[in-house]
Structure 1
């Protein structure tokens, strides 16, 4: 395991900017196996290490920031930002926005 502390839950939820975020690793919950969310909620995962940012047909936002240390699928190292109501996936090297969505 990469973490030096125990993870006691498979997910966490938080409210930020008037939006509900469901944060999970992604091995149990994901865009193909959604938890009980409402349109406009954000499902944030990381399991695949592949960046993704899109509104699903059901209205839930699928957000995977990619990975800064172990990017997969030929993608560069990336990270996620939620600022001023906008979700972004940014390149680690220069901070440039690679994906953007204002839900």
Structure 2
């Protein structure tokens, strides 16, 4: 199996879209089963769950945040080569974050009928 860097541009996009749709369907399915299990309203479960998924995806896809900074500091201190430097915050829009945002967009489409 080839890595994503070896794939041509069209295959990268198809893989990205496929993973985004997979994440979206897993999140909506999980929230639907959760609303059935707790006998809760699906729309309120979808809104709260999609919001939580976005926060989790944002934390997982950001770089240079508090968690990453302390982990890299500890790793470099254990080697004895840590130098304080500026770390830029960056956000990687991967399929997880995109699928979570689309899950929230699905809530608005279903609730308001846009």
TM-score range, shorter chain: under 0.3
**With structure 2 as the length reference, what TM-score do the two structures score?**
0.19
Q: Which structure exhibits the higher relative contact order, with contacts defined as CA atoms closer than 8 Å and separated by 6 or more residues?
A: 2
Higher helix proportion (structure 1 or 2)? 2
The higher radius of gyration belongs to 2
